[in-house]
A and B are shown apart, each in its own frame.
Chain A
Amino acid sequence: MGLFILRRLGIMILTALCLTFIVFFMTNLYPNLEKLAKTQGNFRMSDAEVASYLGRNGYLDPLPVKYGQWLGVLPGWTVKVDDGMRGRCVEGTVAPEALAAAPRFCGILQGDWGFSTVFKDEVSGIIATRLGLTGKLMFWVMVLMVPSALLVGVLAGMREGSRTDRALSTFAITTTATPEYVSGVILIAVFASSAVGLKWFNGTATSAMEDATFNNFFLPVLTIALYGMGYIARMTRASMAEVMTAQYIRTARLKGVKFSDIVMKHALRNALIAPFTVIMLQFPWLLNGVVIVETLFNYKGFGWVLVQAAGNNDIELLLGVSVVSVIVVLVTQLISDVGYVYLNPRISVT
């Protein structure tokens, strides 16, 4: 088991390196850098001015070197300009002594995530606060989604083919067929617009960033939860239906055990192994949902930052965002794999 986790960790780190390199490559393509130079300087820069701006800011090094510097395994760049020295690890133009005093390595590994050009702030700070806000959203999504999905799945799979099963399965299929931008629009239209007039909830969740109430937070949470719920419910249903046909369940029924006891004590434990991994693997999808819902409800969390960074060519922020999201995805995959092996004794890792 230890070796298995170790090997998975190794693959995970390799994957993370590859992915961040791809993002780094894509964001550091010359047209992107040129746009950056023009937004930072002015839009009428000539090509030579753009090149000199990029040179002064260390953008013209070869890509692998830049990637190493950004990661923090190669010493940061230094450039000599007319009135002093500039470097990755110092701010602006400084005297050579100040540059010598600054640390040589400054990248992600040293905790230096760079500076956001859109928010004019440290990337690490922005990501930390926004991740906190999204964490709040995700927590409530999980609280709503997981129990209701499991309940729907177990109730449907407990008596396969019954009327309850048909009704709940149709509900589950409908929710998987409704992407967040559709269900969000419908929910806002029904519950928040003045045209229908119910106005039970708020159509935006901006105020929920400070102080989340049922009123302003329920719709975004429900929108994300609905889409993920159907899939988990269908998985649970399939797994539950399979368990209910197992020999030991029949034995229990023939012994005269009450149906509710069979479901609660015998079937449920085995039926929940598969949904566990599915719930974990839902995280990457939920990340998608978070981006859509945060845009739709104007909730300024992690997904909103991703859109801002990508839309405004904020290279360092986008890199930071992608590092975090890639790590989230990979860690949940690892937990799902390890958890599956741990929960299901029939699977061997060797």
Chain B
Amino acid sequence: MDPLGWGEIITRILTQFTPVWIALVVTFALSLTYKRRLGLYGKLFDSVIGMTGFALVMFWVYTGIFGGAFGWIVTHDTLSQISGLKNKVPGTPVPDAAAQGLYPYYLMGGDNLARDVFSRMVVGAWEVMKIAPFATLFAFMVGITLGLPAGYYGGKLDTFLSFLANLILAFPVILLFYLLVTPEIVLTGIPVYMAGVLFLFPIIFLTILFNSRFFTQPSKRNLYVALTLVIGVWVYLGIAWDADPLGLISFPPNLLVVFVAVVFVNSPTVFRIVRGLAMDIKTRDYVAAAQTRGEGPWYIMLWEILPNARGPLIVDFCLRIGYTTILLGTLGFFGLGLSPESPDWGSTINEGRKLLSIYLHPALPPAMALLSLVLGLNLLADGLREESLRD
């Protein structure tokens, strides 16, 4: 068979993404139809920048889910090597494809281990989707749980927590990664202990959240707090200590280290933002009104201050997922934490760069993918900021 021309390669790639296109069209059609009823999310569809960003982000989200979780978009296995396709250019036909039931072409060529670049790029999106949003969410829980009291109470607590946050912020990120993610440190169990501390925060956060809201309705409160504690502790034991009593939940140890490192690096910045917002909002009249009503401090922090700080926090959440994606890429680029065969974008870029002066195709697709995802998140954040400032 002859290698494909560029036109045909592009057509075939676009066809391969069919499920993503359908999902995108459905999402946009639904959102545009009901945009007046969807609050801030609906307003996003009033700005071109916001829509562009949202489209880019959702493209990769759907690619990650369909390609990585369902295995629809990928054309080849991400680890299987096909001899004779080492560093071959995009569109090279796979020998004996029909006989072995394989996809007949390497759409974006082969890398230096003769694996399919296209499939690895698609699955790389799933690697990001698995870690980045959750790591960011955890960082936010840690930052909010510590930042609200620091800003609300001020004083010694604030001084102490701010000092800790500045301490972590003054650490060069790469040095921190090298110190945390090397095998020797993992051997001592320090990352697991850090996970043990950091993963407690979501449970604390949710418990306080429900407790303060339903304090006057004990039956409801007991139900919610008990549910949070049972599910939370169960997941916590499984994820952080790999000690799930039912043996259902476990977390690959190397992924845990990466997760902890990323949460640890992100939470001080979130802390500083939340602290600043809390300090600003606690002087408002509605906080004074709540204090006069005799509401407890945690109710005021979580149900008066936090909802009113949501605008900047949502914007920062989008930006921070992008930053987390960049950090994950950095970890992969230095070969830290993730296994060398892992198809994540950072590792793939790192492998591709070694032969960059001769073969472009292994390194460029993951680089462009990472660029477009982070760009999408930045545009989305910009659109959200503009729309939330409008009213």
- CB of B170 within 8 Å of the partner chain: yes
Q: Check A186/B364 contact, CB under 8 A, given A29-B184, A203-B356, A329-B170.
A: yes
B230 interface residue (CB < 8 Å to A): no
- In the complex, which residues of chain B have a beta carbon less than 8 angstroms from the beta carbon of A330? 170
1/0 per position for B329-367, CB-CB distance to A under 8 A? 110011000000000001001101100111110011001
Stretch of A19-27, A104-112, A136-144 on the interface side: A19-27
CB < 8 Å neighbour of A182 from B166, B173, B185, B370: B370
Contacts of B359 in A (CB 8 A): 195
Question: A194 contacts which chain B residues (CB < 8 A)?
Answer: 357-358
The smallest C-beta distance from B180 to any residue of chain A, in angstroms, reads 8
Q: Cβ of B172: which chain A residues have Cβ within 8 Å of it?
A: 284, 287-288, 291, 306, 322, 325-326, 329
Give chain A residues whose Cβ lies under 8 Å from the Cβ of B379: 173
Whether the Cβ atoms of A19 and B167 lie closer than 8 Å is: yes
Cβ-defined contact, B378 with A333, below 8 A:
no
Q: A193-B358, A196-B360 are in contact. Are A310 and B179 (CB under 8 A)?
A: yes
In the complex, the answer to whether A15 meets B188 with C-beta atoms within 8 Å is no
Q: How large is the interface on A (under 10, 10 to 19, 20 to 34, 35 or more residues)?
A: 35 or more
Given A23-B179, A185-B353, A193 contacting B173 (CB threshold 8 A): no
* B185 in contact with A185 (CB, 8 Å): no
Whether A192 sits at the interface, judged by CB under 8 Å, is yes
Determine the distance from Cα of A311 to Cα of B329 in the docked complex, in whole angstroms. 18
Mark B167-191 against chain A: 1 for CB-CB distance below 8 A, else 0. Answer: 1011111110011101011011010
A193, B178: Cβ atoms under 8 Å? Answer: no
Task: Mark the stretch among A30-38, A57-65, A78-86, A240-248 that contacts chain B.
Answer: A30-38
CB distance from A137 to the nearest CB of B (A): 16
- Tell me if A145 is interfacial: C-beta within 8 Å of chain B: no
Residues B333 and A26 in contact, CB atoms below 8 Å apart: no
A186 near B367 with CB under 8 A, answer yes
Q: How far is the CA of A131 from the CA of B170 in the complex (A)?
A: 19
A181 touches which one: B167, B182, B330 (CB < 8 A)?
A: B330
Q: Which of A274-310 contact B (CB under 8 A)?
A: 284, 287-288, 291-292, 295-296, 303, 306-307, 310
- Selected from B178, B187, B350, B370, the residue in CB contact (under 8 A) with A310 is B178
Task: Select A193's contact among B167, B174, B175, B357, beta carbons within 8 Å.
Answer: B357
Q: A189: CB under 8 A from chain B?
A: yes
Interface residue total, chain B, C-beta cutoff 8 A: 47
Q: How far, in whole Å, are A184 and B357 apart by their CA atoms in the complex? A: 12
A-B contacts counted at CB < 8 A amount to: 142
A13 at the interface (CB under 8 A from B): no
Tell me, yes or no, whether A212 is within 8 Å of chain B by CB.
no
Q: Does A336 make an interface contact (CB < 8 A)?
A: no
A29 to B166, CA, bound (A): 24
Asked if A18 is at the interface (CB within 8 A of a chain B CB), the reply is yes
| With known contacts A32-B184, A292-B330, A326-B170, A179–B175 Cβ distance under 8 A | no
Specify the chain B residue showing the minimal Cβ separation from A172.
Answer: B378
B185 interface neighbour in A29, A179, A196, Cβ under 8 Å = A29
A35, A189, A196, A325: which contacts B363 (Cβ < 8 A)?
A189
Interface assignment of A93: CB less than 8 Å from any CB of chain B: no
Is A178 engaged at the interface, CB distance under 8 Å to the other chain? yes
Minimum CB–CB distance for A87 against chain B, Å: 27
- A188 with B357, Cβ < 8 A, contacts A29-B185, A182-B329 known: yes
In the assembly, what is the distance between CA of A34 and CA of B270, in Å? 37
| Contact partner, A185, options B174, B356, B374, Cβ 8 Å | B356
CA distance A321 to B175 in the complex (A): 9
The CA of A329 and the CA of B371, in the complex, are separated in Å by 27
Given contact pairs A27-B179, A184-B353, a sample of 18 additional A-B residue pairs in the complex whose CB atoms are under 8 Å apart: A23-B175, A26-B180, A32-B185, A177-B371, A177-B377, A179-B326, A181-B333, A181-B346, A182-B329, A185-B352, A189-B363, A193-B356, A196-B360, A203-B356, A284-B170, A292-B330, A310-B175, A310-B179
Interface residues of A (CB under 8 A from B): 11, 15, 18-19, 22-23, 26-27, 29-32, 35, 173-174, 176-179, 181-182, 184-186, 188-189, 192-196, 203, 284, 287-288, 291-292, 295-296, 303, 306-307, 310-311, 313, 321-322, 325-326, 329-330, 333
Going nearest first, the 8 A-B pairs with the smallest beta carbon separation are A310-B178, A177-B375, A31-B184, A177-B374, A179-B326, A182-B367, A26-B179, A31-B187
14 A-B residue pairings within 8 Å (CB atoms)? A15-B170, A30-B188, A178-B371, A179-B326, A181-B333, A181-B367, A182-B329, A185-B367, A194-B357, A195-B358, A196-B360, A284-B170, A307-B174, A329-B171
